[in-house]
Amino acid sequence: MARNLKSVVVTAPLKKLQGKILLPASKSISNRLLMISAAGGIKLDIGNLSDADDTLLLQKLIATVQSVKKTDRPVELDAGMAGTAMRFLTAWLSVMPGKWILTGCDRMKQRPIGILVDALVHLGASIDYLAKPGFPPLLIRGKKISGHEITIDPGVSSQFVSALLLIAPFMEHGLIVNLKGRPVSSPYMMMTIKMLQSFGVKINVGKTRIHVTPGLNAPGNCNVESDWSAAAFWYEAAVFAVEADFELSGLHAGSLQGDAILPSVYQNFGIQTEYTETGIRLVKTGKKIDGFYYDFTDCPDIAQPVIITCAGLGIRGRFEGLKSLQIKETDRLRALKNEIGKLGTQVELLAQGSDSPAFEIRARKPGFPRGLSFETYDDHRMAMSLAPLALKTGSLRISNPDVVGKSYPQFWKEFQKAGFEIH
């Protein structure tokens, strides 16, 4: 499919999904491996590295930093819409000699980073805000930092903690991180810890304290598993299909990824998951439910497809643990309310803008007029979550389809393989 399209029309001529679907490599694992390699100054042979736009951008920015020769002039690095790159680079650049201006797109300049900056400054880093305090762009004067203990609130983004952990093994005295409050997306924080431990880093993990000892052993090679987050849109499609029996490649039990919770989540919607030698097989069993409740604190990236699953089925639902969705590529809660409302579904957004927002769908049979047009708000997960509704409407239009490149560049191609038509 050509890029730079304003919109695509998705048609679902078949009601049965079958075949073998290729998933992208995990962006989360790929980006952490790139940062471990960069921070440790080690060369890793990484198999199945993600080809997502965010990972390619992070690679490019790391290469730019590593190619800079000594200069008194600040070097500008643009993270665009890549939140992971912004946070991981903020920590790494603070210990990389040189002057760095780290910026991003307009939306990135609205995404808070003050908690991470405060922690780094407490450790001895030199970071200034170039516009609004607490938000990018940043002026970072990289240097050796001597601090070794901080207290941080992990309730806004686990990536703040991960960013610190990724440089911790290379700090003179290591790092002690005291956690103040319940972490959001804690499986991603544990992913960082387990990956560092696989490199021989000694990390003591307590309930509210993480102690990282300096030192790391570099393995010769490592391989990236497929992305469980990307599987969520296929689970959603399986629910909407009249029949579903297909495979998703490269997934396995015991994954590092928090979104590997999907099989138990979608079992509630009648989707059976069977592990095979090459991935998983999804089979629709026909089970029906009247309502669904879920707390997404540990897995916010699957909130959109699960919420839209309930809306498409016309069942009531209540969803919590959504605080971080308000500061993603867009305000995902507002975006969901706007787009689900086009189905005639009654939606209630409670305590919007607070630390504990909730999203409610009231039981009401949705309308599925053919040819509905949906906006994506420059958000890859909005585009991919809305596309399976074509199985309900027959056809629909998705704006700005290229946004899927952020995490799943081959999404539309795989959608066609499954039987959808993309125009």
Q: Return d(Cα 358, Cα 350) in angstroms, integer.
A: 5
> Tokens at residue 144, please?
């050796």
DSSP per-residue letters across 1-33: --SS-SEEEEE---SEEEEEEPPPBPHHHHHHH
Burial of residue 312, with CB atoms counted within 10 A of its CB: 0-12 exposed, 13-18 middle, 19 or more buried = buried
Active site residue 295: no
User: Residue by residue, what is the 3-state secondary structure of 131-142?
Assistant: CCCCCCCEEEEE
Query: What SS3 state is found at 381?
Result: helix
Nearest Cα to Cα of residue 324 among 123, 151, 186, 173: 186
Q: In what order do the strands lie in the sheet with 209-212?
A: 149-152, 175-179, 209-212, 203-205
Considering the candidates 118, 259, 301, 379, report the single residue annotated as catalytic: 301
Q: Return d(Cα 421, Cα 423) in angstroms, integer.
A: 7
Sign of the alpha-carbon torsion through 392, 398, 401, 403? negative
Alpha helices (runs of H) in 17-82, residue ranges in sequence order: 27-40, 53-67
Hey, which residues are catalytic here? 301
